[in-house]
Amino acid sequence: MKEIKDKILNNKFILTAILPLKSNLSTEIFAGAILAAISIPAVMGYAKIAGMPIITGLYTILVPLVLFALFGSSRHLVVGADSATAAILASTLLPLAAAGSPQYIGMVSTVALLCAFFLLLARILKLSLIADFMSRTVLVGFLTGVGIQIAISQLSNMFGLNNGIIESTIPKLIYVFTHLNELNIFTLIISVIVVINVLILKRISPKVPGELIAIIGSIIASFIFNLQNLNISTIGSINGGLPSLFLPSFNITNITGVLIAAGTCFLVIIAQSTATARAYALKYDEEVNGDKDILGLALANTSAGLTGTFIINGSPSRTEVLSNAGGNSQLPSIITAIIVLIVILFFTELISLLPTAVLASIVFLIGIGMININELNHIRHIMRSEYYLAIFTAITVVVFNVLWGIIFAILLSMILHLSHSYTPNNSILIQNKEGKFDYVNLKYGIFTKEGIIIYRFNRDLYYANSDRLHDEAIKLIKKADNPIKWFVLDAGGFESIDYTASEMLKRLHEDLEEKGVKFVLTTVLPHLEERMDNLGLIEIIGSKNIYKNNYKALEAFEKENQF
């Protein structure tokens, strides 16, 4: 025990994450209280989204929150249940077992343990860079689609309707509109009051816990007026008490669904948590270690899997709450866990009086909050093609499900990267009015100087885009206003080359030679030159035709042609 204590005290990241360095203790405690006020209703909503018992939502911000505070490096990242991963669990596992059943809870807890295992592998192999492969554009689209799906899923409970076993989003929406004559007017009034009050209070100040006020107020009203007599359903009995440790079990025939859920949740955790931690480290000019954060998330998910709760992820919204409240360490997270412990031990009986419509309204607002209209509009104005990719991802989530949405998000991210590398914006070096040389966008008919073209290819050169370089080079020479004697390839725009691209350069050398044009290379990085040498390119092009930079090549060209 002493060894563990010494290890914690000697760990710089643990100390700096927990201890408030820039704000006083009272501010940190206040921030923890605000964080608890916002987090408690939120995680109850996430439990509902995930198809888990309400109490398990509170469990996600008990032990897991403390473990991340101790072992993560980020001073600001808040972890716990999350809407995106909750929706993934529901989408992939609810078709396999009834919500809240022992079999379903076993599968969900197993997913948390598998995610912990994947995260540990990512930590050992230093794979925090996986987050970089999730395009921000399609991630915005994915979260928008999840938000729409979550919001629509709550309409039946907000209207007092029973949509039975309908699971798909569009049929749920159709059901609501075709059964409006069956709505419970009292349930609808409660839903409208909750939504309006929460929105107004958030407008006044983000620090005001509108959701918590709505929950407390509706519980009091339910107790005083016995709302069940008005056919208003309540959450009902909640098994309180501390979580117990156990190894989850499930039917092995469901292993495919469990693995799919774990894999998709893992990708979302890596992408969302790492991006959020980096953003706040940049905002506060602080050090963050992605590998240590992954370890903290792995330990948090391990505790979740062993205590019968669900996936732990970094929360951008609650991290922003902590930041706005003045929190400058992980101490507020520990304060939040203490408050949650008190709620679990003493107040679960009161929570059972909560009207279902209130929780549904809070979940509805969570979904609406995930629809980032401002960022979508910003993407549309900056890059229309990426905006369409984001919209397509959102539509995929809504029409099909979250699983297909995350698959398309990953595929579209890769396609987006490939499209950028496949169609680079290449350049020509030309002389401006002041006599200096500048790169300009490629345009056929222009040249660097009479008899020479210096051409820069602005992406890594590989099998998919190598023919583009060849075709542009030949076309530039054909369309030049004067005979070209030298064609110079500025290799500073790419760092790697594969076999197909090397064969293309050999072919380009032959084609240029037939036209009486010398093929010259400049700005070749040392490792790239070594690679080219191994591929036999240096021998063909000739080491004398490789120059340190473009100006050296221009000098040699002028000397050879007596300018």
Structure tokens given for 209: 């816990």
pLDDT in tens, 140-157: 887 788 788 888 888 988
Pick the range with the lowest mean pLDDT from 272-276, 296-300, 418-422.
418-422
Burial 507-527 (b: 16+ CB within 10 A, else e): ebbeebeeeebbbbbbbbeee
Q: What is the mean pLDDT of the chain?
A: 84
Cβ-count burial of 108 within 10 angstroms (0-12 exposed, 13-18 middle, 19+ buried)?
Answer: buried
Q: What is the pLDDT of residue 4?
A: 43
Give the start-to-end residue ranges of the domains of the chain: 13-418, 427-560
Kindly report which listed range (299-303, 427-431, 537-541) carries the lowest average pLDDT score.
427-431
Whether the per-residue pLDDT at 318 is higher than 70: the answer is yes
The tens digit of pLDDT for each residue in 406-420 reads: 677 667 767 766 776
**Spatial separation of the C-alpha atoms in residues 265 and 252, rounded to whole Å:** 20
Please give the average per-residue pLDDT across 114-138, as a whole number. 78
pLDDT at residue 10 greater than cutoff 60: no
Is a pLDDT exceeding 80 seen at residue 17?
Answer: no
Q: Could you tell me the CA-to-CA distances from 69 to 78, 86, 113, 225, 463 in Å, in that order?
A: 8, 22, 19, 42, 46
Q: What angle do CA 457, 460, 461 make, to 5 degrees?
A: 75
Q: How confident is the model at residue 259 (pLDDT cuts 50, 70, 90)?
A: very high
Q: How far is CA 96 from the centre of its chain?
A: 27
CATH 1.20.81.30 fits 427-560, yes or no: no
SS (H, E, C) 241-295: CCCCCCCCCCCHHHHHHHHHHHHHHHHHHHHHHHHHHHHHHHHCCCCCCHHHHHH
Confidence of residue 9 (pLDDT cuts 50, 70, 90): very low
The confidence band for 7, taking pLDDT boundaries of 50, 70 and 90, is very low
Tell me what pLDDT residue 140 has: 82
Q: Is the pLDDT of residue 164 over 70?
A: no
What's the pLDDT band for 1 if we cut at 50, 70, 90?
very low
Confidence band for 3, pLDDT divided at 50, 70 and 90: very low
Which residue reads 């996936």 in tokens? 311
Tens-place pLDDT, residues 433-473: 776 778 888 888 888 888 999 999 888 888 888 888 999 99
What percent of the chain clears pLDDT 70, i.e. is strictly above it? 90
**How far is residue 245 CA from its own chain's centroid?**
31
pLDDT tens digit sequence for 104-117? 999 999 999 999 99
pLDDT tens-digit map of 47-90: 988 999 999 999 999 999 999 999 988 888 899 998 889 988 98
Phi, psi of 549 (to 5 degrees): -150, 175
CA angle 324-326-63, nearest 5°?
Answer: 90
Q: Is 550 helix (H, G, I), strand (E, B) or coil?
A: helix
d(CA 147, CA 199): 17
Q: What token pair was written down for 200? A: 């107004």
pLDDT of residue 396: 85
CA dist list (Å): 391 to 150, 159, 331, 528, 553: 17, 28, 39, 39, 48
What are 321's two structure tokens? 């709450």
If residue 313 lies in a helix (H) or strand (E), which one and from where to where?
strand 313-314
**Residue 13: pLDDT band by 50, 70, 90 thresholds?**
very low
Q: Tokens for 411?
A: 């595929």
Tell me the two tokens of residue 487: 């064609």
Q: Residue 296 pLDDT more than 70?
A: yes
Q: Which residues contact 325 (CB under 8 A, 6 or more apart)?
A: 30, 31, 34, 35, 207, 332
Half-sphere exposure of 42 (CA within 13 A, CB side): 25
pLDDT value at position 289?
Answer: 82
pLDDT over 60 at 477, yes or no: yes
Q: Which two tokens stand for residue 73?
A: 């490096």
Residue pair 49/87 in contact (Cβ under 8 Å)? The answer is: yes
Chain segment 165-220, per-residue pLDDT in tens: 556 788 888 989 998 998 999 999 999 999 999 899 888 877 677 888 888 899 89
The pLDDT assigned to 15 comes to 47
Q: Which of 125-139, 308-322, 499-513, 529-543 has the lowest mean pLDDT?
A: 125-139
Q: What local confidence, expressed as pLDDT, does residue 8 receive? A: 44
